[in-house]
Amino acid sequence: MKKIAKTKLQELWQRLSAEGALHLPVRSDRVVEFVRWQEDVSADLDALNAFLPPKKYFYPQTETVLKYQFEDTLQLTDVSSLAGEKTILFGVRPCDAAAFSLMDKVYLGEPVDEAYRRRRESTVVIALGCLEPEETCFCLAFDIDPGKAPGADLLAADTGTELVFIAQSSKGEELLAKLNGVLQEATSGDENKVKDAQERAREKYVTRVSVHGLAEKLDTFFDSVYWDRLYRRCIACGTCTYLCPTCHCFDLQEYAAGRSGERIRCWDACMFPDFTQMAGGHNPRPTQKERVRQRFMHKLNYFPRQHGGEYACVGCGRCVRQCPVHLDILEVIREMGGAVDGR
């Protein structure tokens, strides 16, 4: 266990950037965004949700899947072996860190997505514990502790004026060992401070919902009239899906240039009308009702049924905050009877 005063973080970032491409949440213009660190740039340690979740580092919005070239014959080049620059992600919140393990179920499940695996393995994730959840935070519902991030390589626990680093994997230990000159040894007093901060963060929750038994309840909910009313507000934009740390659907597209070109993979959204539109004209999800239902059913029923009961939501609250028409998963969880207390 090591620690550093928040006032000395520039030194830490300087050192970390020597170990790999360092990315951290930075406020610029009107949003907080994960960007590559440069001299004099400071991380925003207060903002909880970066505009885009850090899933973009393992599953970028656009990536090349293959290159092709017509010479004497057709040549296909796999570019996935090029993925995986040594990267350090600093300041990943516990919810976003938990989302990585959900994305892993999809992209590290058979057949393994090679580019994703390489990026995941070449990245050290330094999570940043939350001191005070926002009103749109509901990670607790998914057993995610705002002060802890067991899936991260390192946890940086925020104790107010200092960050205390706890290694949680061999990658984390290795990196921590390299930071000896910058970090101080933490004491048992610091350990207690971390525990206090973690406890306080839990207590400060205002939005308490439960998803206990929700997947089971939804087993028979597909034909409910509930969906007939819910969807009407939806304007079919991609805000909820693109901002979601667990949404993983994609499209493949061709980008041609003469006799050569590439095939790219890019994020796609089940909210878009053409998502399931077939070339012959048939669309199994013909209206926004089916699309809205798909999104919530996938997160709260289909995904848990496929992946040992785990919900495809980490309660980060981005969709709650950002949906232009206030149609979000928290509303669905609540209306399904998932509220415990809170407002």
Partner 1 sequence: MAVNPLLPQVAVVTDVRRETPDVKTFRVEAADGGELFAYRPGQCAMVSLFPVGEALFSITSSPTRIGFLEFSIKETGMLTRALHEIEPGTEIGVRGPYGNGFPVEFLRGKDLLFIGGGIALAPLRSLINYCLDNRDDYGRVDIIYGARSSRDLVQREELFVNWPRLRDTAVHLTVDVRSDDWEGNVGFVPAFLEQLNPVPEGKATITCGPPVMIKFVLQSLAKMGYQPENVITTLEMKMKCGIGKCGRCNIGDKYVCRSGPVFTLAELQKLPNEY
Partner 2 sequence: MSTANGKIRSSAAEALAEGRVTLVLGWRKKDFWWQSPVAFVESAAEAEQLTFDPFSVYNPVKYLLEAAGCHEKVGVFVKGCDSRGINRLLQDKRLEREQVLIFGLPCSGMVDPVKIRAAFPAPKICEVARDGEELLVRLSDGQERVQTADFLLEKCLTCRHPNPVVYDRLLWERVPVRSGVDALRFARVSSVAQQQIQERYAYWTRQFSRCIRCFACRNTCPACNCRSCIFDQAEPRWLGKASDMSDTLNYQITRAFHVAGRCFECGECERICPAGIPLQELNRRLIMDIDKYFGPYEAGLAPGDLPPLGTYRGEDPAGFDES
Binding site residues, partner 2, CB under 8 A: 29-31, 33, 51-52, 61-62, 132-136, 204, 206, 229, 232-233, 235-239, 242-243, 251, 253, 255, 264, 266-269, 272-274, 277, 320, 322, 324-327, 330-331, 334, 343
**254 scored as a contact of partner 1 (CB under 8 A):** yes
**190 scored as a contact of partner 1 (CB under 8 A):** no
Q: Which residues contact 178 (CB under 8 A, 6 or more apart)?
A: 15, 19
Out of 206, 252, 325, 340, the residue judged to bind partner 1 by CB under 8 A: 252
Rounded to whole angstroms, the Cα distance separating 147 from 152 reads 12
Smallest distance from the beta carbon of 72 to partner 1, in angstroms? 10
Rounded to whole angstroms, the Cα distance separating 98 from 92 reads 10
Contact predicate 40/231, CB 8 Å: no
Smallest distance from the beta carbon of 154 to partner 1, in angstroms? 27
**310 scored as a contact of partner 1 (CB under 8 A):** no
**225 scored as a contact of partner 1 (CB under 8 A):** no
Q: Which residues contact 212 (CB under 8 A, 6 or more apart)?
A: 338
Interaction partner, residue 276 (partner 1, partner 2, none; CB < 5-8 Å by kind): partner 1
Q: How many residues bind partner 1 (CB under 8 A)?
A: 53
Q: Which is nearer to partner 1, 73 or 170 (CB)?
A: 73
Smallest distance from the beta carbon of 210 to partner 1, in angstroms? 22
**265 scored as a contact of partner 1 (CB under 8 A):** yes
Question: 149 by DSSP, 3-state: which?
Answer: coil
Interaction partner, residue 322 (partner 2, partner 1, none; CB < 5-8 Å by kind): partner 2
Interaction partner, residue 238 (partner 2, partner 1, none; CB < 5-8 Å by kind): partner 2
Contact predicate 117/167, CB 8 Å: no
Rounded to whole angstroms, the Cα distance separating 32 from 43 reads 9
Interaction partner, residue 30 (partner 1, partner 2, none; CB < 5-8 Å by kind): partner 2
Rounded to whole angstroms, the Cα distance separating 6 from 165 reads 12
Q: Which is nearer to partner 1, 204 or 285 (CB)?
A: 285
Q: Which is nearer to partner 2, 2 or 23 (CB)?
A: 23
Pairing verdict, β 21-28 and 31-36: antiparallel
List the interface residues with partner 1, window 5-44 (CB under 8 A). none
Interaction partner, residue 325 (partner 2, partner 1, none; CB < 5-8 Å by kind): partner 2
Q: Which is nearer to partner 2, 39 or 343 (CB)?
A: 343
Contact predicate 220/336, CB 8 Å: no
Question: 121 by DSSP, 3-state: which?
Answer: helix
Helical ranges in 178-255 per DSSP H: 188-203, 214-218, 226-230, 239-243
Give residue 321's identity as a one-letter amino acid code: R
Beta-bridge mates of residue 155? 127, 166
